[in-house]
Amino acid sequence: MRGSEHRMTKLPVEDIQAWGESVEAKQPQEVLTAAIGRYAPKIVLACSFGAEDVVLVDMVHRIDPSVPLFYLDTDFLFPETYATRDRIIRHYDLKPAQVLQVKSLLTPERQAEQHGEALWSTDPDRCCQLRKVEPLTRALKGFDAWITGIRRDQAPTRAHAKLIEWDAKFQLAKVNPLAKWTWGDVWTYIKVYEVPYNELHDRNYPSIGCTHCTKPVMPGDDPRSGRWQGLAKTECGLHKAS
CATH number at residue 162: 3.40.50.620
pLDDT per residue rounded down to tens, the chain (242 residues) = 344 344 345 788 999 999 999 999 999 999 999 999 999 999 999 999 999 999 999 999 999 999 999 999 999 999 999 999 999 999 999 999 999 999 999 999 999 999 999 999 899 999 999 999 999 999 999 999 999 999 999 888 889 999 999 999 999 999 999 999 999 999 999 999 999 999 999 999 988 999 999 888 877 666 656 555 555 545 444 545 54
Q: How far is CA 155 from CA 7, 13, 79, 81, in A?
A: 36, 25, 26, 22
**Number of neighbours of residue 129 by Cβ within 10 angstroms:** 17
Q: 43 and 143 in contact (C-beta within 8 Å)?
A: yes
Look at residue 8 in the predicted model and tell me its pLDDT.
Answer: 45
Q: Examine residue 227 and state whether it is found in any structural domain, yes or no.
A: no
Distance CA 172, CA 11 (A): 10
Query: Three-state SS across 32-46?
Result: HHHHHHHHCCCEEEE
* 167 part of a folded domain: yes
- Tell me if 141 is assigned to some domain: yes
Q: How far apart are CA 161 and CA 158, in angstroms?
A: 5
Per the domain annotation, does 205 fall within a domain? yes
Residue 84 belongs to some domain of the structure: yes
Cα–Cα dist 91/67, whole Å? 16
Would you state the pLDDT for residue 215?
Answer: 87
pLDDT given at position 48: 96
Question: Does residue 225 lie within any of the structural domains?
Answer: no
Segments forming the whole domain that contains residue 137: 2-6+15-213
Q: Is 137 inside any structural domain?
A: yes
| pLDDT value for 233 | 44
Sheet holding 99-103, edge to edge: 99-103, 69-73, 43-46, 145-147, 172-175, 164-167
Catalytic residue status for 47: no
Residue 69 belongs to a domain: yes
pTM: 0.88
Give dist(CA 138, CA 48) in Å, integer: 17
